[in-house]
Every structure is written in structure tokens, then in C-alpha cells.
Amino acid sequence: MKAKHQRLILALVALAALIGAGLLAASALKDEAAYFYAPGDVKAKGVEPGKAIRLGGMVVKGSLKRAADGVTMSFDVTDGKATVPATFSGIAPDLFKEGSGVVAEGSFDTKGTFIATNLLAKHDERYMPRELEGMSYNETTRELKVEK
């Protein structure tokens, strides 16, 4: 066989392997492509208990309850279409409160409650850390100024 034919066959085999690897990766990631599941998606499609996912939505006002141990809390997460009960044991971020956005990492138990292992509190573009409240930034002079 000529060297020209060997190179052509090698190129075709490499291309087939590359396409096969891409299809395999796409197949494996098709269910994991979403950054997080919304409660409406969970109720519509269902998520198997024990499967690690991210649940995102808003913490329902009036649903946040802390247990006597001081670190365990229960709350409801909603997206406006459905509501999912959730629990978390640990230290919550400062931005985590009722009426705010949250992305919780964890899994569902057999009763349909989401057991969070990590909470990521979300904020809007107007968020200002407590330390910087009452201060403004001047773009021209690039200085922080304390407002009175």
C-alpha cells in the first residue's frame, strides 16, 4: 500500500474516532447540561432520589424555619410554577434569606424533600456589601467617597 493511502486511512480513522468521542461526550452530558433544575422542572419531569443536582429558585417568604440545633433549617424553593421543600444543615451564606434567589446543591430523598449540602445565595445587580453601604465610586477620579 502506498504511503499516500496509509495517510488517508489514518486521517479517516482519526476523524471517525474524534466524531465518536464527541457523540459519546454529548450523550453522557445531555441530562447534565442544565446549570440547575427549577422546581417546575422537578415536578414535571421528576428526579430520582439520591441523584446529585442543583435546585434553583426563590426562597418562599415565610417558609424559612430554623431547628433548635441552630444549624439546620428548612425552607421552600419556588419558581412560580411549583414549590419544593428543602432542608440544609450548616452555615448559610449572609445573602441567604426569604424572598431571595438561591441555588442549592444536593439531592432529593424518597419523600420528595431536597436535602441541600451547599447553598449559593444569589443577588441582583443592585447588591451592595454592608461594608460599602453609604459609599459611592467616582469613575472619573477613581475614588471611593463616603456619602453623608
Q: Tell me the pLDDT tens digit for each residue of 22-71.
A: 998 888 777 665 567 889 888 888 888 888 888 988 899 999 999 998 88
Query: Quick check: 105 and 116 in contact, CB under 8 A?
Result: yes
Give the containing element (helix H, strand E) for 145: strand 143-146
CATH ID of 39-122, from 2.40.440.10, 2.40.50.140, 3.40.50.880, 3.40.50.150: 2.40.50.140
Q: How far apart are CA 20 and CA 2, in angstroms?
A: 27
Give the mean model confidence (pLDDT) for residues 79-105: 88
What's the number of CA atoms in the CB half-sphere (13 Å) around residue 1?
Answer: 8
Domain ranges of the chain: 1-33, 39-122
Question: pLDDT for 110-139, tens place per residue?
Answer: 998 999 999 987 665 565 555 555 556 566
Question: Which pLDDT value is given to residue 128?
Answer: 55
Q: What angle do CA 41, 46, 49 make, to 5 degrees?
A: 125
Report if pTM > 0.75.
no
